[in-house]
């Protein structure tokens, strides 16, 4: 089921990112500290009253050196295109400026639900001032304070009221959904064509064109798949489509709907920083990941070439150590047939559930091989473990004191779980929880 999307629009410095960070809350701070992964704080999940939605801080989408008004216009356009409900934010201490009025006219014309947030209303006695904002035409203005966290509840109540009726997508668990991400020109579109052109693939339906991507349903050897193609998206010729942050937004939305994400690299041009950043999004989303090294035809090879390239990939993408690497060429079709089996395997591992008794046997064995460490004279005790979720497989290990469970021991357990259960292609999560 597609989550509703909320976009925050407003001039610089009205407090958009302050509010964004508050709404997104812990989600961002728990993002693991992985070298090579930098988080762009423009798109994330938030939750209010058990409703989960995604939120975009359009202020984070920088659009070159355009003048302020042009940038704001484009940010408003993105919000109109990409979201279900728009929070239009103004600085209540400053009043509505000409730029605010221009943007409000654009939003007004879009017919999207707009909720007006008047920020920096830090004291209750400031609230009297908000009545002037009725004139913007968005109905009741909501006074909030980002720094003090005031008024957000009422604002979100209003936002949620405007969520569209849920589109019931087929949540058929037997269908494997995958997407391709990567910087421009690595060969994503070519690869989509190569996959769909494979002999054993029967394309059944190219109906599901969403505003983010083209979904193509196909079957192969009796298994059903959906390929989520953002690259092949019909281009609408809008200026912001070329910006990096916007393509990131697109990629994040595609990743979210996928079980398996193919991180596509270009053997011809090698690995660059942008590749790592894009791969980081897949990792953070907790999806199954396959690294695809495309354009393998362009590389002059001897018997060590593949190993050397693999080492380079492993070195550059240490956080994706669980992801298999597939070398292929979308153009010559060489080794294309090796891809689908990897997708199936990764997706199965991503959804794998292991039995509690077997899991605990692995724990007992692990403790025998590598006794738990002591910190300042206190020894970590592991009582038992249980799998609490799939997609990705998530484990809770009950211990005497979670503080004693260091990263290195967790890492050791992860490796043991991987050896025992074969989680190739999927991240796994391990949490330590206290039980006396
Ligand atoms: P953005 O450019 O719209 O994302 O704005 P920021 O979130 O970066 O905030 C701009 C400035 O306004 C920062 O210095 C914030 O600390 C400040 N600010 C944000 N919300 C409030 C608020 O509710 N009250 C006050 N007094 N300052 C705020
Ligand atoms: P996208 O922007 O990631 O969708 O990349 P495209 O699929 O549009 O491909 C970019 C360019 O790379 C095109 O000129 C393709 O013909 C070329 N290309 C894609 N895959 C291969 C490949 O496997 N080998 C070679 N030699 N060129 C490729």
Token pair recorded at residue 14? 């009205």
**120 annotated ligand binder:** yes
Q: Pick the residue whose CA is nearest to atom 19 on ligand 2.
A: 187
Instruction: Note the ligand closest to the C-alpha atom of 8.
Output: 1
Dihedral of CA atoms 141, 146, 147, 148 in degrees, nearest 10, equals: 60
130 alpha carbon to ligand 2 midpoint, in Å? 54
pLDDT value for 235:
53
68 Cβ closer than 6 Å to some ligand 1 atom: no
Tokens 């494997």 identify what position?
176
Q: What does residue 100 show for φ and ψ, rounded to 5 degrees?
A: -60, -40
Cβ atoms of residues 213 and 230 within 8 Å: yes
| pLDDT mean values, one per 10 residues, the chain (436 residues) | 85 89 62 44 80 85 75 86 92 89 91 95 84 90 93 94 71 84 89 90 65 78 87 60 73 88 95 86 91 96 93 93 96 94 96 96 94 89 94 94 91 95 95 87
Q: Does 3.30.300.20 match the CATH number of domain 356-434? A: yes
Residue list, ligand 2 pocket, CB within 6 Å = 182, 184-190, 231, 294-295, 297-298, 329-331
State how far the Cα of 204 lies from the Cα of 215, in Å rounded to an integer: 11
Index of the ligand 1 atom closest to the CA of residue 60? 4
CA of 331 to the centre of ligand 2 (A): 7
What is the predicted pLDDT for the residue at 277?
A: 83
Q: Report the atom number in ligand 2 closest to the C-alpha of 192.
A: 7
pLDDT at 222: 87
Instruction: Confirm whether pTM is higher than 0.80.
Output: no
Could you tell me which residues come within 8 angstroms of residue 274 by beta carbon, excluding any fewer than 6 positions away? 183, 244
List the domain boundaries for the chain: 4-161, 176-350, 356-434
State the pLDDT at residue 29. 35
Give the number of whichever ligand sits closest to the CA of residue 187: 2
Our mutation pick for probing the ligand 1 site, out of 7, 13, 99, 151, counting the most ligand atoms within 8 A of Cβ, is 13
Ligand nearest to the Cα of 195, by number: 2
User: CA 225, 392, 32: angle at the middle one, nearest 5?
Assistant: 130
Domains 4-161 and 356-434 share a fold: no
Which atom of ligand 1 is nearest the CA belonging to 150? 23
Q: Given the structure tokens 């009043």, which residue do they identify?
A: 95
Tell me the CA–centroid distance for residue 337 and ligand 2, in Å: 18
Q: Is the dihedral of CA 109, 115, 118, 124 positive or negative?
A: positive
176-350: which CATH topology?
Rossmann fold (3.40.50)
The C-alpha atoms of residue 303 and residue 63 are separated, in whole angstroms, by: 45
Q: Strands 223-229 and 176-181: what pairing?
A: parallel
Does the complex come out with an ipTM higher than 0.85?
no
Would you identify the CATH topology of the domain 4-161?
Rossmann fold (3.40.50)
């Amino acid at each position: 089921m597609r989550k509703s999307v909320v976009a925050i629009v407003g001039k610089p410095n009205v407090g958009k990112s302050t509010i964004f960070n508050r709404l997104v809350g812990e989600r961002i701070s728990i993002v693991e500290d992985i070298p090579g992964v930098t988080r762009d704080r423009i798109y994330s999940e938030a939750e209010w009253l058990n409703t989960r939605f995604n939120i975009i801080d359009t202020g984070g989408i920088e659009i070159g050196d355009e003048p302020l008004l042009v940038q704001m216009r484009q940010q408003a356009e993105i919000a109109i295109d990409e979201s279900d409900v728009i929070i239009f934010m103004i600085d209540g201490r400053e009043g509505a400026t000409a730029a605010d009025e221009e943007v409000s006219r654009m939003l007004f014309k879009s017919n999207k639900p707009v909720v007006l947030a008047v920020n920096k209303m830090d004291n209750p006695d400031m609230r009297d001032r908000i009545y002037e904002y009725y004139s913007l035409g968005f109905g009741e203005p909501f006074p909030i304070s980002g720094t003090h966290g005031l008024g957000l509840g009422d604002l979100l109540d209003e936002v949620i009221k405007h969520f569209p009726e849920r589109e019931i997508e087929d949540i058929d668990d037997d269908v494997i959904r995958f997407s391709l991400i990567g910087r421009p020109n690595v060969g994503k579109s070519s690869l989509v064509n190569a996959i769909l052109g494979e002999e054993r693939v029967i394309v059944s339906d190219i109906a599901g064109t969403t505003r983010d991507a083209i979904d193509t349903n196909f079957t192969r050897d009796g298994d059903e798949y959906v390929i989520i193609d953002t690259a092949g998206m019909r281009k609408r010729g809008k200026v912001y489509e070329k910006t990096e942050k916007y393509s990131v937004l697109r990629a994040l939305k595609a990743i979210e709907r996928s079980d398996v994400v193919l991180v596509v690299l270009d053997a011809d041009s090698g690995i660059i920083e942008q590749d790592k950043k894009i791969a980081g999004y897949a990792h953070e989303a907790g999806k199954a990941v396959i690294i695809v090294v495309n354009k393998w035809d362009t590389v002059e090879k001897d018997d060590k070439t593949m190993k050397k390239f693999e080492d380079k990939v492993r070195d550059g993408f240490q956080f994706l150590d669980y992801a298999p690497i597939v070398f292929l060429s979308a153009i010559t079709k060489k080794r294309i047939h090796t891809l689908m089996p990897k997708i199936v395997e990764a997706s199965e591992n991503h959804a794998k559930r292991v039995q509690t008794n077997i899991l605990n046997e692995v724990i007992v064995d692990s403790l025998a091989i590598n006794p738990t460490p002591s910190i300042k004279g206190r020894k970590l005790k592991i009582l038992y473990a249980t799998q609490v979720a799939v997609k990705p497989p998530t484990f809770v290990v009950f211990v005497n004191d979670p503080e004693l469970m260091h990263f290195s021991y967790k890492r050791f357990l992860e490796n043991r779980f991987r050896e025992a259960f074969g989680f190739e292609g999927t991240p796994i999560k391990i949490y330590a929880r206290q039980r006396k």
